């Protein structure tokens, strides 16, 4: 079963981080924390708020934090649900009980993942633009001795911590959410600066440095700013706080996408033409609002609009697909003709000239609806004749031209230019 979960996790790593749509980071954010003692010990939300205030950001918080509580408990807790339903949250932080995500697969699949999904769904019903952030906790200092006998993988810090890391990433991937990788920061600090005391004497709850590491992780995750610039040190020496900031810089700020499984909107469209009426199919994903620019001064906000053009021509159609403050764009050029001909199937840009050479008249076979301008040049580039779209004639007299080679330039409505040689006898 563990192997299957690892394969699942790898799959989401490959597809979960995506999209080049841009998201503006707010300098003022409202965040709800749902968790237990790992969040309320040392008052983690207040530490994050102090950091934000000193860095000229604003953090407004609320919380429901109950000792030993699980996500399943929060999913049925009326206070937690009511706070989610208040709405207007920019982010909701979900922290599971400290041991549960490291338990055997069947326990996690029954007691952790469904509760995480339910809470995430409620969050987005009442807060459509909110981010769900999973608070990745850490392995106990010397492993989980209380559960070691029935589940050996948690007998050591490394074993327990790796399972927590995996399961929190999976929760984020399953729910298109974000991870605040506090456990990853603890691991880095333990390895590089083992003298820093992260744990209280119970070898589980965070000491001051541990809560500071969590606060720096959340600040970097929320505001996407370089943690090395954080000036608030929580009344601790820089020999403690600087390694923590460096760990956050290395594992979060320098690789924000690794922890972000949210799906940005992707704009995409197709169309069909019937005469001068274009019918558009919206193939966009992860968007909830749309703006169509039809290229002739008209626009629409429907999902799958139709539009009738007044004139033949080439039009650039643009689609903006949006989700909250994130936008994605797609555009296509369409050729509108009364006949509704297909450009590719009918080779609309083809030109045939006969007789060539000629000493009298020449016939020019081309699609007049697509031609913008027709110009005749001498072999040395001198302009001799020019016709705009309304005056282009498919028959041209050449008996008044001197014998020699000439060049006929076609400019199409989409800007394409081609040349054809004419020999006058």
Query: How far is 116 from 120, CA to CA, in rounded Å?
Result: 6
The answer, yes or no, to whether the previous bond of 355 is cis (omega within 30 of 0) is yes
Query: How far is 248 from 188, CA to CA, in rounded Å?
Result: 9
Flag whether pLDDT at 5 surpasses 80. Answer: no
pLDDT given at position 391: 65
Flag whether pLDDT at 6 surpasses 70. Answer: no
Range of the domain at 358: 352-424
DSSP string, 169-229: HHHHHHTT-EEE-HHHHHHHHHHH-TTS--B-TTSSSB-HHHHHHHHHHHHHHHH---GGG
- Compute CA distances 223 → 20, 73, 218, 226, 339, whole Å: 19, 29, 8, 9, 55
The answer to whether residues 366 and 250 belong to one domain is: no
The answer to whether residues 254 and 319 belong to one domain is: no
Of 217, 238, 259, the last residue of a domain is: 259
The answer to whether residues 53 and 134 belong to one domain is: yes
- Percent of the chain having pLDDT more than 70? 89
Q: At a CB cut-off of 8 Å and minimum separation 6, what does 28 contact?
A: 57, 58, 59, 60
Query: What is the mean pLDDT of the segment spanning 106-114?
Result: 98
Tens of pLDDT, residue by residue over 177-234, are 999 999 999 999 999 999 999 999 999 999 999 999 999 999 999 999 999 999 999 9
The answer to whether residues 99 and 6 belong to one domain is: yes
Judge whether 344 lies within some domain.
no
pLDDT given at position 70: 98
Q: Return the CATH number at 407.
A: 2.60.40.1930
Query: How far is 42 from 235, CA to CA, in rounded Å?
Result: 13
Please state the separation of Cα 93 from the chain's center in Å: 20
The answer to whether residues 308 and 381 belong to one domain is: no
Judge whether 342 lies within some domain.
no
Structural domain count of the chain: 3
Query: How far is 91 from 71, CA to CA, in rounded Å?
Result: 16
Q: 3-state DSSP call for residue 382? A: coil
For residue 280, what pLDDT band results from cuts at 50, 70 and 90? very high
Query: How far is 420 from 353, CA to CA, in rounded Å?
Result: 8
The answer to whether residues 328 and 404 belong to one domain is: no
Flag whether pLDDT at 126 surpasses 60. Answer: yes
Whole-angstrom Cα Rg for the chain: 33
Judge whether 345 lies within some domain.
no
Tens of pLDDT, residue by residue over 17-63, are 333 444 567 889 999 999 999 999 999 999 999 999 999 999 999 99
Of 259, 283, 308, the last residue of a domain is: 259
Q: Return the CATH number at 26.
A: 3.40.50.1110
Instruction: Tell me how many degrees the CA angle 164-166-172 measures, rounded to the nearest 5.
Output: 100
């Amino acid at each position: 079963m563990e192997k299957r979960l690892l394969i699942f996790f790898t799959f989401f790593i490959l597809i979960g981080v995506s999209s080049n749509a841009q998201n503006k980071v707010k300098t003022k954010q409202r965040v709800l924390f749902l968790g237990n003692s790992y969040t309320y010990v040392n008052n983690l939300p207040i530490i994050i708020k102090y950091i934000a205030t000193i860095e000229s950001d604003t953090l407004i918080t609320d919380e429901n934090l109950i000792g030993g509580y699980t996500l399943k408990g929060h999913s049925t807790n009326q206070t937690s649900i009511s706070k989610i339903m208040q709405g207007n949250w920019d982010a909701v932080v979900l922290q599971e009980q400290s041991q549960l995500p490291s338990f055997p697969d069947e326990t996690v699949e029954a007691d952790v993942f469904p509760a995480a999904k339910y809470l995430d769904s409620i969050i987005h019903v009442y807060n459509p633009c909110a981010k769900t952030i999973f608070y990745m906790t850490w392995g106990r200092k010397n492993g989980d001795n209380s559960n070691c006998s029935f589940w050996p993988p948690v007998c050591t810090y490394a074993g327990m911590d790796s399972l927590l890391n995996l399961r929190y990433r999976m929760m984020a991937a399953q729910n298109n959410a974000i991870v605040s990788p506090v456990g990853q920061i603890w691991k880095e600090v333990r390895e590089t600066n083992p003298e820093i005391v992260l744990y209280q004497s119970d070898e589980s709850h965070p000491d001051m440095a541990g809560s500071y590491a969590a606060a720096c992780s959340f600040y970097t995750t929320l505001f996407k700013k370089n943690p090395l610039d954080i000036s608030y040190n929580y009344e601790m020496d820089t020999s403690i706080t600087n390694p923590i900031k460096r760990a956050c810089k290395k594992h979060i700020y320098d690789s924000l996408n690794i922890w972000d499984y949210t799906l940005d909107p992707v704009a995409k469209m197709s169309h069909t033409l019937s005469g001068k009426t274009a019918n558009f199919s919206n193939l966009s994903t992860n968007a909830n609002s749309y703006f169509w620019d039809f290229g002739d001064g008209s626009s629409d906000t429907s999902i799958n609009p139709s539009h009738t053009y007044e004139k033949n021509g080439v039009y650039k159609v643009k689609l903006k697909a949006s989700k909250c403050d994130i936008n994605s764009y797609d555009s296509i050029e369409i050729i509108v003709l009364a006949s509704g001909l297909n450009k590719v199937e009918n080779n609309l840009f083809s030109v045939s000239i006969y007789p060539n050479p000629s000493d009298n008249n020449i016939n020019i076979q081309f699609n007049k609806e697509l031609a913008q301008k027709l110009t005749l040049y001498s072999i040395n580039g001198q302009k001799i004749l020019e016709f705009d779209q309304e005056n282009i004639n498919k028959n041209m007299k050449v008996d008044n031209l001197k014998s020699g080679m000439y060049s006929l330039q076609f400019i199409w409505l989409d800007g394409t230019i081609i040349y054809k040689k004419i020999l006058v006898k």
